[in-house]
């Protein structure tokens, strides 16, 4: 699938590409080049060429995949989890709108030491190569997730759940929805990064089929810590449609 890179975010937007997120610039293709190079991806070197080749609007609804602190992804206090035994949830995911931004920004500020700005999130709304979703329960925004893609590669760039809704499976639901978006659009490999010490998040990602493929020494700054780069091959049988393992 051909895909054209979304235009760079406004200067100083402080969004995709921030230091805590794993992108040194403000362009998704730069992020994916870094991921692919560290992971030894055979397609990483051609990401820029694919991005210049033209654009194609994503097709179809976001279905199930065949199957954060941080990618940035979730800190230990904001670990994406799955519901424990007997936990009742009424979560759903949907595309984010401008009206969701106040709640998104509140969750962002409660989740990350270097939160994205309003401008950054606004720049993602409606973009053809970005899936920007919110987690919702009874009409209240409970979290948000961002995935962007260029050709056959994608990155989970943001995943956060509001403090009042953590520990009930919302993070897992958001992750599954983002992976579904990637699958529908023909993405073959999804990358993310996570703090080395964030065992709970790494465990969730492993249950979804992600495997460690690289490391960025002392990548995170508050506090300093290595980032573990993880990748998921959506073309393999390791991606499951559901995972009953409680978090």
Catalytic residues: 193, 205
Tell me which DSSP letter residue 169 carries: S
Measure CA of the first residue to CA of the last residue in the chain; give whole Å. 35
- Pairing state between β 130-137 and 224-233: unpaired
**How many residues in total does the chain contain?**
247
In terms of Cα–Cα distance, which of 177, 180, 175, 167 is closest to 192? 175
Question: How many helices (H) and strands (E) would you count in the chain?
Answer: 6, 7
CA distance readout (Å), 87 to 20, 66, 79, 168, 246: 32, 25, 17, 7, 10
| C-beta of residue 35 within 8 angstroms of C-beta of residue 191 | yes
Instruction: Say which residues have a Cβ less than 8 Å from residue 12's Cβ, sequence separation at least 6.
Output: 119
Q: How many CB atoms lie within 10 A of CB 139?
A: 5
- How far apart (Å, rounded) are the C-alpha atoms in residues 10 and 7? 9
- How far apart (Å, rounded) are the C-alpha atoms in residues 172 and 149? 20
């Amino acid at each position: 699938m051909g895909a054209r890179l979304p235009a760079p975010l406004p200067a100083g937007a402080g969004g995709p590409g921030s230091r805590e997120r794993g992108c040194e610039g403000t362009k998704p293709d730069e992020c994916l080049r870094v991921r692919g190079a560290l992971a030894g991806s055979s397609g990483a070197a051609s990401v820029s060429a694919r991005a210049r080749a033209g654009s194609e609007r994503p097709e179809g609804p976001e279905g199930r995949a065949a199957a954060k602190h941080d990618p940035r992804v979730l800190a230990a206090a904001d670990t994406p989890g799955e519901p424990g035994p007997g936990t009742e949830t009424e979560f759903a995911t949907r595309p984010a709108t401008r009206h969701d931004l106040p709640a998104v920004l509140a969750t962002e500020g409660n989740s990350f030491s270097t939160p994205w700005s309003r401008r950054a999130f606004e720049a993602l709304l409606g973009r053809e190569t970005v899936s920007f979703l919110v987690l919702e329960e009874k009409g209240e925004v409970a979290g948000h997730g961002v995935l962007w893609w260029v050709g056959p590669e994608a990155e989970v760039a943001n995943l956060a759940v509001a403090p009042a809704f953590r520990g009930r499976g919302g993070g897992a639901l958001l992750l599954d929805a983002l992976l579904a978006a990637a699958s529908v659009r023909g993405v073959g490999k999804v990358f993310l990064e996570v703090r080395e010490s964030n065992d709970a998040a790494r465990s969730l990602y492993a249950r979804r089929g992600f495997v460690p493929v690289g490391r960025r020494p002392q990548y995170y700054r508050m506090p300093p810590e290595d980032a573990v780069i993880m990748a998921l091959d959506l073309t393999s049988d390791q991606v499951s449609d559901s995972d009953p393992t409680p978090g």
